[in-house]
Structure 1
């Protein structure tokens, strides 16, 4: 298996430590490498500590939606901040642009969570080809859907030595859809009767999509399920004696999305089966205000599923007052994110650093 790399020095930075710990100078280099089949060229940034001969290295795996290597979301450069902090603490990180983003080729829209796991393993293979990286200290860090991708990757390859989940998914696709949308509905300003209707139609559509995900009749079955519900729902709404019905389910866009390869794969993703196969140490961190990946359910699953497979090397931590991006929040809804001035919680960064040093020898 051959990989090629173009490396350009971007910048060097110095960091400081309030605790008097050793802080390393950081170099961040632009790198390029190919997928195993040679069809995709990945562009990324490798941040390393200077003056340290052997160090752990993380591959950052992003969540749902096209993201650049810096994890730029709502004005926050999440992955860049984490990479700079960890490298200054002696832990390297490789972060890449997603398929079809920045300098990475390929098409994001036709890729699945399984494909993203394959991309992560391509990054691991590239790191193993470098003389400055210790092949026995390479791990994956996944955010959101990236938690599922790193689980798949670790289940498939012994080259992955540890996992770090940050607000990472450890629920099956169907359960994740049901829980996430129920939490979003509960946190919304909808009247109670519309919350009831939302949860009802969401459950019907998600379960129908799950049942027919591998069938050519998926689109037809989804439309049928919606129309059957609509007849009953119209009759229900009349009993409320409310003049105008403002509730709308986005049936067309949902069906079009569900027909795609990503959704068909995701809704059938089996977290329990996958995580049971992961035998390496796992650190899972969630914020308690996360509306996208529920902290209690997912943290419990990381431990439960891994334990079922005989892996008890799992540490889970729930941190108070953090949202899905692990930022400190007040209202903690998605509208607030762009207004938050702070970066990723230092508690999260410190946890990751301390756990890696304790676990990866």
Structure 2
């Protein structure tokens, strides 16, 4: 595969564009079984054409069912990562999420904890795979994948390093609150509407946490919302604007809160898992990320080894969004050509330099 640099008049930062030349490294499509349940995983392993005893990296996806290419915003994220890393001497495994492609199971009933177990099954598979060094296998997680790799590393010494790309290191409740505050603040809304969203969101998240183990969670959320709506309507009636366009999607939110994923995530305790991780960690975030806010980076150092893990390196990169792409450039592309936007080159450079500096 080859990368070409695409320059535009308005573009200061060049982006990597992927083309295919299969002669540069080996790409194997594999299927392997779980050792703890009946799941089957479909994946692709890339490794250099020459050499042996390669360090290996398992890519762990974020929220939402994704295939092994990791297509997000039109960009084949995982393919680009695997291509870059393999060209730099590393083996990479990227797999289909549960219920996608060749991987069995049902994504909709799985939790972040389950995704961590999937990552550990991939590590176990790689330990026995030809030309892989079993003592140099690490995990790379994006978004919610940051939480999944933290859980996995806390449970197995086979995980020798972690790489977080916009990866979550905050508690689940805190993450939900800050994420929605960031999204609302960035939205083209009047200040009064933003205030109402912040109020109802904070209330709903707190109640979702409170009733996470309840058998009638959905009913409780509807009751909480209805009480808020009555108070809000009474207040709005006193305002000069006669037309109230504010809408909170309770019909979608309440059923979501009752799902296994949400029940687990809202109670997710990042410190409990990261506190047991002493492996080296690299964490990268963009300062334009509205999904995993920049403050999240501090948690990697604060929580890892309960603050005693000194092998934690963090980078906050200016102008990059949740996909670690330049936010301003991303806005110039529509769905027909956004696949030409890759990860910002400095992200890939930081990863490669860090791996080599730590002798992986």
Q: TM-score, normalised by structure 1?
A: 0.91
* Counterpart Cα distance in 2 of 1:41 and 1:333: 38
Counterpart contact for 2:59–2:140, Cα < 8 Å: yes
* Counterpart Cα distance in 2 of 1:331 and 1:56: 34
* Counterpart Cα distance in 1 of 2:336 and 2:144: 21
Aligned-pair CA distance for 1:241 = 1.5
1:321 match: 319
* Counterpart Cα distance in 2 of 1:181 and 1:334: 24
1:194 match: 193
Q: Gaps (5+ residues) in structure 2?
A: 6-22
Structure-to-structure mapping, 1:1-361, within 5 angstroms: 13=1, 25-295=24-294, 297-306=295-304, 308-330=306-328, 340=338, 341-361=340-360
Secondary structure, aligned partner of 2:222: helix
Question: Closer, same or farther in 2 for the Cα pair 1:336/1:208, shift >3 Å?
Answer: farther
Deviations 1:81-109 (A, max 9, x none): 01001100101110000001111111000
Q: Gaps (5+ residues) in structure 1?
A: 1-12, 18-23
Work out which structure has the larger RCO, using CA pairs closer than 8 Å and 6 or more positions apart in sequence. Answer: 2
Counterpart contact for 2:330–2:341, Cα < 8 Å: no
Secondary structure, aligned partner of 1:230: helix
Counterpart contact for 1:61–1:150, Cα < 8 Å: yes
* Counterpart Cα distance in 2 of 1:308 and 1:129: 32
* Counterpart Cα distance in 2 of 1:41 and 1:14: 32
Deviations 1:172-226 (A, max 9, x none): 1100000000000000001111100001000000000001101213222211211
* Counterpart Cα distance in 2 of 1:288 and 1:332: 15
* Counterpart Cα distance in 2 of 1:220 and 1:334: 43
Deviations 1:130-186 (A, max 9, x none): 131100000000000000000000001111000000000011110000000000000
Question: Closer, same or farther in 2 for the Cα pair 1:110/1:96, shift >3 Å?
Answer: same
* Counterpart Cα distance in 2 of 1:276 and 1:241: 52
Deviations 1:15-56 (A, max 9, x none): 799xxxxxx931111011011234111101001112122221
Deviations 1:226-266 (A, max 9, x none): 11111110011112221211111111210101101000000
Question: Closer, same or farther in 2 for the Cα pair 1:333/1:261, shift >3 Å?
Answer: farther
Superposed CA RMSD in Å reads 2.0
* Counterpart Cα distance in 1 of 2:261 and 2:332: 23
Counterpart contact for 2:278–2:305, Cα < 8 Å: no
